[in-house]
Amino acid sequence: MPQQQTALITGASVGIGHELARQFAQGGYNLILVARNEDKLRAVAEEMRTLGVQADYILADLAQPAAPLALFADLKNRSQTIDVLVNNAGFGALGDFHQLDPQRQLDMIQVNVTAVVELTHLFLQGMVARNIGGILNVASTAAFLPGPHMAIYYASKAFVLSFSEAIAEELRGTNIKVTALCPGPTESEFRTRAKMDDSPVFRSKWIPTMTAAQVAQAGYQAFKKGKRIIIPGMVNKLAVQSNRIAPRRAVTKVAGKINRSK
C-alpha cells in the first residue's frame, strides 16, 4: 500500500466500527472517524494515534439528510483525500413494522441505506479519477433473507449487499475494491440499541455471537484481498448457504422466530 492513505470510517465510536478503525490503523491507514458521540470518538482517535497513524474525527448525525454532503464538503475544504470509505454506521429496531415508530424506521433507512449511497457516490468520484481506492460496506447476514419483526433492518441490509455487489462489478478492472462485510450476531451496542437483549438471535447456542474484533479482522482482511463478500464465522456461512436452498417462506418463518420469541 502507498504510504499515507486515509480511510474514513462511519460509526467508529464503538463496536465493529471501533475495531475496524484499529484494523485500518494497524494496516498503516490514517483515519477520519465519524459518529455522533464526541467523547467516544475522541478516545478512539487518541487510541489510534498510539498505533502510529494520524487520526481525526468529525461529528455527524447520518440520520440527517444533509449530513453526507456536509461531511464531504468539510473534507474537501481541508483538501483531505479519502482513499477508503467504510460505511459501517447503522442500527436496527426489534418490533412489528406497523407498531414501530415510523420516524425511527425512516431514520434507519436514512442511516443504513441513503447515507451509504450518498457517501459512496460522493467519495467514489475521486477514487475513479485516481483509479485507486476502496469501499467497505457493512451489511449483515440479515441481507440474505426477509426478517419478520425487523423488516426494515433486514431490507436495509439486503439493499447494502445488492448495491455493493453491483458496483463491485461495475468497477471490475479498476483499482477500486468494493467489499460487503456480512456479520452474524456480534457483541457491540447494537443489540441493546435495537432492544434485542432478550432476542433468541443473541441467546441461541446454535448461533455463536462473535466479538467485534473478530468481525472487523475478517472484514479488513477480505477487503485487502479484494473479496466482494465476507461472512465471518463458519456457522454464519453455513446458515447463509442453507437459506439459499430452503423454501423462502420457511426461511422467513424461522427468521421471525429467531428475531423474537412470541
Ligand X SMILES: NC(=O)c1ccc[n+]([C@@H]2O[C@H](COP(=O)([O-])OP(=O)(O)OC[C@H]3O[C@@H](n4cnc5c(N)ncnc54)[C@H](OP(=O)(O)O)[C@@H]3O)[C@@H](O)[C@H]2O)c1
Whole-number minimum distance, CB 131 to ligand X, in Å? 28
In the shown chain, the binding pattern of residues 215 to 254 toward ligand X, with x for contact by CB under 6 A and - for none, equals ----------------------------------------
Catalytic residue among 29, 57, 153, 154: 153
Residue 128 cell numbers, joined: 475513479
The residue from 25, 63, 75, 135 that contacts ligand X (CB under 6 A) is 63
In the shown chain, the binding pattern of residues 69 to 98 toward ligand X, with x for contact by CB under 6 A and - for none, equals -------------------xxxx-------
The residue from 11, 219, 232, 256 that contacts ligand X (CB under 6 A) is 11
CA–CA dist 26, 20 (Å, integer): 10
Please state, in angstroms and as integers, the Cα–Cα distance from residue 262 to each residue in 84, 95, 198, 202, 237, following that order.
42, 11, 11, 15, 27
Nearer to ligand X, 63 or 136 (CB): 63
Residue 34 cell numbers, joined: 465519524
Site for ligand X in 115-154 (CB under 6 A): 138, 140
- The DSSP code for 113 is I
Whole-number minimum distance, CB 63 to ligand X, in Å? 4
Reduced to 3 states, what is the DSSP secondary structure of residue 34? strand
153 is catalytic: yes
Nearer to ligand X, 150 or 168 (CB): 150
Name which of 128, 131, 134, 132 is nearest 226 in CA terms.
134
The residue from 188, 199, 236, 259 that contacts ligand X (CB under 6 A) is 188
Question: Is residue 193 close enough to count as binding ligand X by CB under 6 A?
Answer: yes
Window contacting ligand X (CB under 6 A); options: 21-29, 33-41, 49-57, 242-250: 33-41
DSSP string, 158-204: HHHHHHHHHHHHHTTTSSEEEEEE---SBSSSHHHHTT-TT-GGGT-
Window contacting ligand X (CB under 6 A); options: 31-39, 122-130, 144-152, 231-239: 31-39
Question: Is residue 35 close enough to count as binding ligand X by CB under 6 A?
Answer: yes
The residue from 8, 16, 94, 119 that contacts ligand X (CB under 6 A) is 16
Question: Is residue 189 close enough to count as binding ligand X by CB under 6 A?
Answer: yes
Whole-number minimum distance, CB 88 to ligand X, in Å? 5
Here the contacts of 38-46 (C-beta below 8 Å, separation 24 or greater) are 40/13, 40/14, 41/12, 41/13, 44/12, 44/13, 44/18
Q: Which residues contact 134 (CB under 8 A, 6 or more apart)?
A: 83, 84, 85, 127, 176, 177, 178, 179, 223
Q: What is the 3-state secondary structure (H, E, C) of 141-167?
A: HHHHCCCCCCHHHHHHHHHHHHHHHHH
Question: Is residue 21 close enough to count as binding ligand X by CB under 6 A?
Answer: no
The residue from 21, 32, 62, 86 that contacts ligand X (CB under 6 A) is 62
Q: What is the dihedral of CA 81, 73, 224, 184, to 10 degrees?
A: 160
Cβ atoms 223, 179 nearer than 8 A: yes
Window contacting ligand X (CB under 6 A); options: 94-102, 181-189, 225-233, 236-244: 181-189
Residues identified as active-site: 153
